[in-house]
């Protein structure tokens, strides 16, 4: 049994929630030439995960954050953003 450090995930969710509040889901999507954007930008997700990893270290420097913890954070944040994108699509009539 392995223990996963969830501190980066919680920090990433806080950061993403603030970005969603300020800029909406458009912050995390790739711009499309025509019509609305329905693809997430991996660079923006990586940026949030990186910032969250540093925030997690500041909050709990004694708790080691391994690569698999960061990868888990990335996957879960992506799932959360896909859910937000899907809700936005449904609400807009797509």
Q: What is the pLDDT of residues 7-27, one digit of tens each?
A: 999 999 999 999 999 999 889
Q: What are the two backbone dihedrals, phi and then psi, of residue 5, each rounded to the nearest 5 degrees?
A: -80, 110
**How far is it between the farthest Cα atoms of the chain?**
48
What global pTM score does this model have? 0.87
Res 35: pLDDT: 62
Beta strand ranges found along the chain (DSSP E): none
């Amino acid at each position: 049994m392995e223990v996963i450090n969830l501190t980066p995930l919680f920090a990433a969710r806080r950061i993403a929630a603030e970005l969603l509040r300020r800029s909406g889901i458009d912050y995390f999507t790739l711009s499309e030439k025509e019509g609305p954007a329905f693809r997430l930008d991996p660079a923006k997700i990586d940026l949030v995960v990186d910032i969250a990893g540093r925030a997690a270290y500041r909050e709990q420097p004694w708790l080691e954050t391994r690569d698999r913890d960061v990868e888990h954070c990335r996957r879960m944040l992506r799932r959360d953003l896909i859910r937000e994108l899907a809700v936005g699509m449904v609400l807009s009539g797509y």
